[in-house]
Structure 1
Amino acid sequence: MKGYIEERAVDIANYIIDFNATVRQTAKQFGISKSTVHKDVTERLVQINPTLASKARIVLDLNKSERHIRGGLATKEKYLHKQQCNTRY
């Protein structure tokens, strides 16, 4: 069991780095929870492969710093879509 978790942590980190993925995207891809992704990268991976952990952490920190922008864009899209639907009828 422990070997599987270590392997998963490495796979998760590689996915995050390769695809510049967010925690949510990664969790969906691997079929696990966001908290598991976070724990694998921030706690488990540091003990397994510190270099890989720091690279993944850079991507996660960048995504975290940009999340308010993505949220604003998503809200804007939502209301633009609603407006377009209302003008059709």
Structure 2
Amino acid sequence: MELAAPAVRRGEVGPTEKGTPTAKIYISAEGVEKAYRLYLRDNIELRLGSRNEEEALLGARLLRLAGVKAEARKSADGKRLV
């Protein structure tokens, strides 16, 4: 089964409170869309935070469909991160 190519669109762009360049991007595939925060530091970071494990796993799957190496993990405060 061939999966549809994901669509990517850009949201708002601007600095964080500490001045780090950031942008919100949206990735959608198979009828599902997730919002990610893109941070430009010494490297480029994409983040999706959720307390819902299924949502975090889906977010990681969408990133992998877009060609990004991504895994969902649990943070110390119980939040799920991608």
**Greater percentage in strand:** 2
Higher RCO (CA 8 Å, separation ≥ 6 residues): 1
Q: Same fold by TM (over 0.5)?
A: no
**Greater percentage in helix:** 1
TM-score, normalisation: structure 1 = 0.29
